[in-house]
Amino acid sequence: MIPDRAAVRTLDGMADLDLVRRIGGASNGLAVVAVARPDGTIHTSLVNAGVLDHPVSGEPVVGLVVQGRAKKLSYARAAGRANVVFRNGWEWVAVEGHVDIAGPNDALVAPDAIPKLLRDVFTAAGGTHDDWDEYDRVMAAEGRTAMLVHPERIVSNPGT
């Protein structure tokens, strides 16, 4: 049965991040991230994302890792906000909020803390790796950067 598309609810409270974790986990962290372009149109792309603790505040955020030259990163820097949608079948949940960015060109965390943060985001999104030193090397070579979305608004279909 297809749920009523008009029946959407806004969720309150960090307990709702459990829903994000559940749906995200069921889809192996696969999500769509949406950010506004400078002209107001929307840029979307498929990413892996997951819930983890913010490296500075300790509060839960939705994190994803992006290449340093990715358009979504430059758009997120300019817009300061993003929306990440996870789905599993007809069940979905969207997390919207302002974005913190932590990478080689950002001062959010110390440069020597970036490899651990990228690993934390990767594992929160369900990733595993057999050679973390190689992972760190590739991430650094690609200028990989963490986007951390603060869950200011969480919306889901009511079947959840």
**Is the distance from CB of 88 to CB of 26 less than 8 angstroms?**
yes
- pLDDT at residue 105, rounded to an integer: 85
CATH topology of domain 9-155: Pnp Oxidase; Chain A (2.30.110)
Q: Which residue has the tokens 């949406």?
A: 34
pLDDT digits 0-9 by tens, 21-56: 999 999 999 999 999 999 999 999 999 999 999 999
List C-alpha distances in Å: 112 to 83, 86, 116, 136: 28, 31, 8, 11
3-state secondary structure of 19: helix
Q: What is the pTM of this model?
A: 0.89
List the alpha helices (DSSP H) in 58-131.
71-79, 114-124
CB-based burial of residue 88 (10 Å sphere; 0-12 exposed, 13-18 middle, 19+ buried)? middle
